[in-house]
Structure 1
Amino acid sequence: MELLRAENLSHSFDYPLFENLNLTLKTQDCIAIEGSSGCGKSTLLHILSSLLQPNKGDVFYKNKNLYHLNENERLKIRRYDFGIIFQTHYLFKGFSALENIELASVLSHQKLDEKILEKLGIDKLLNQKIGKLSGGQQQRVSIARVLCKKPKIIFADEATGNLDFDNAKNVIELLISYVKENEAALFFVTHDHNLAKFCDQIYTLKSNGIC
């Protein structure tokens, strides 16, 4: 089933990033996006996840044009249906790891999934304050926070950047397993081709779209 469709996307800042880009995400799709630094990978992720309106083109989620909806409607989709893993963790420093994860679960009305915490290797860190955790541990907490809200689409922007390869491999395998088991989809932006190879499809972002 089609979840997300992008049609004729074009975007630029001081210089053009991409033009006439088309992309479709279906249930159980795991798509990796590669490309040189500054080519617009993160910008494309922000557009597809409803955070940035493109200069031209349309994005449809379940056949609804995201940028024809009002901000409250888009916020509801981001809260319940989209899970966005940023390069920066955006965790609440004064909260414990568990409180950070529980907050997302409560807001999306989902029950905390303890198996996800175990698979990410953070089940013994839950009572520690975020400020006491390493960068890699914080990254895994942010990933757990997203997965525990049970999104239909996971947008991961260099989600494994702070992890060694073994932990990064564990994370991408967990994300893919979640997608296959929950009829979800993954849009994975990465510079690591070895991780991209775990996905079903790999695209390279260029100025004339993706290939």
Structure 2
Amino acid sequence: MNNSNVIEFKDVWKTYPMGTEEVKALRGVNLKIKKGSFIAIMGPSGSGKSTLLHLAGILDTPTKGTVLMNGKNIEDYSGKEQAKLRRENIGFIFQRFNLMPQLNALENVMLPMITADKEKAKKLLDKVGLSGKYNRLQNQLSGGEQQRVSIARALANDPTILLADEPTGELDTQNTKIIMELIKDLNEKDGLTIVEVTHNPLSAEFATELIKMQDGNIIR
């Protein structure tokens, strides 16, 4: 495994204004995410997990400190370059799937593609076990199947990093295991770097590294 850092946080602070006060979501976080790692981040609500994930996905910038992507400060990229970096390097999986209900499974997977490719979208749906369900709409799919479409969509542009925000939060135990086995395979067989935020200890068990957060700090 290549031990280079794909994402690195150096003394990262993130502060949000709330009325006349400030909420410190992250308080001087230092973290190195190695290429090919599978990290689960746990902690109570308000501990800073999702803020950390948003910064890793270049969806936000730190108030103070530095976030490096492949060794380069994300703030040194222009807005256009940041968007390109997200599109070409990072896949996102969300708790509530975020599918477009008016589109079928195939169309949802094709949606973020830089160049629309129906055959590639079919192969991705096959990969996540949805062969033959290309034309199903969201309301014709179970929760587990919707999350599989979401994973196929996250893989549409061949990312090197997969960021998962509570990927099993809406799923029962059986579907949690199925989805996490699938994500683990993407890490072990395809070499994707995985960062998962979760409240679910079962979901976290599939990761090879566990980070615990509290009050904006990494405590373990």
Q: Same fold (TM over 0.5)?
A: yes
Tell me the residue number matched to 1:140: 148
Cα deviation, residue 93, structure 1: 2.0
Provide the C-alpha distance between the structure 2 equivalents of 1:86 and 1:161, rounded to a whole number of angstroms. Answer: 9
Provide the C-alpha distance between the structure 1 equivalents of 2:86 and 2:107, rounded to a whole number of angstroms. Answer: 20
- CA spacing shift, 1:10–1:109, aligned 2, 3 Å: farther
Tell me the residue number matched to 1:3: 6
Provide the C-alpha distance between the structure 1 equivalents of 2:42 and 2:146, rounded to a whole number of angstroms. Answer: 24
Aligned residues of 1:97 and 1:127 also touching (Cα < 8 A): yes
- 1:6 partner letter: F
1:19 to 4, 13, 27: 27
Aligned residues of 2:122 and 2:134 also touching (Cα < 8 A): no
Provide the C-alpha distance between the structure 2 equivalents of 1:111 and 1:3, rounded to a whole number of angstroms. Answer: 30
Provide the C-alpha distance between the structure 2 equivalents of 1:22 and 1:118, rounded to a whole number of angstroms. Answer: 39
Tell me the residue number matched to 1:42: 50
Tell me the residue number matched to 2:78: 70
Cα deviation, residue 84, structure 1: 1.1
- CA spacing shift, 1:184–1:133, aligned 2, 3 Å: closer
The TM-score, its normalising length taken from structure 1, stands at 0.89
Cα deviation, residue 27, structure 1: 1.6
Correspondence 1:60 to 2:68? yes
- CA spacing shift, 1:40–1:109, aligned 2, 3 Å: farther
Aligned residues of 2:41 and 2:197 also touching (Cα < 8 A): yes
The TM-score, its normalising length taken from structure 2, stands at 0.86
For 2:112, what is the secondary structure of its paired residue? helix
Q: How many residues align?
A: 211
The percentage of counterpart residues that share the same residue type is 35
Cα deviation, residue 89, structure 1: 2.5
1:199 to 204, 207, 213: 207
Tell me the residue number matched to 1:100: 108
Note the 1:144-159 alignment, pairs <5 A.
144-159=152-167
Cα deviation, residue 59, structure 1: 1.0
Tell me the residue number matched to 2:185: 177
Post-superposition Cα deviations, 1:61-97, rounded to whole Å, max 9, x if no partner, equal 1111112211110110111100111223232222111
Cα deviation, residue 106, structure 1: 4.4
- CA spacing shift, 1:111–1:42, aligned 2, 3 Å: farther
Provide the C-alpha distance between the structure 2 equivalents of 1:93 and 1:38, rounded to a whole number of angstroms. Answer: 30
Provide the C-alpha distance between the structure 2 equivalents of 1:173 and 1:137, rounded to a whole number of angstroms. Answer: 14
Cα deviation, residue 119, structure 1: 5.1
> Unaligned 5+ residue runs, structure 2?
none
Provide the C-alpha distance between the structure 2 equivalents of 1:110 and 1:68, rounded to a whole number of angstroms. Answer: 35
Provide the C-alpha distance between the structure 2 equivalents of 1:124 and 1:111, rounded to a whole number of angstroms. Answer: 13
For 1:104, what is the secondary structure of its paired residue? coil
- 2:196 partner letter: F
For 1:126, what is the secondary structure of its paired residue? coil
Provide the C-alpha distance between the structure 1 equivalents of 2:132 and 2:190, rounded to a whole number of angstroms. Answer: 26
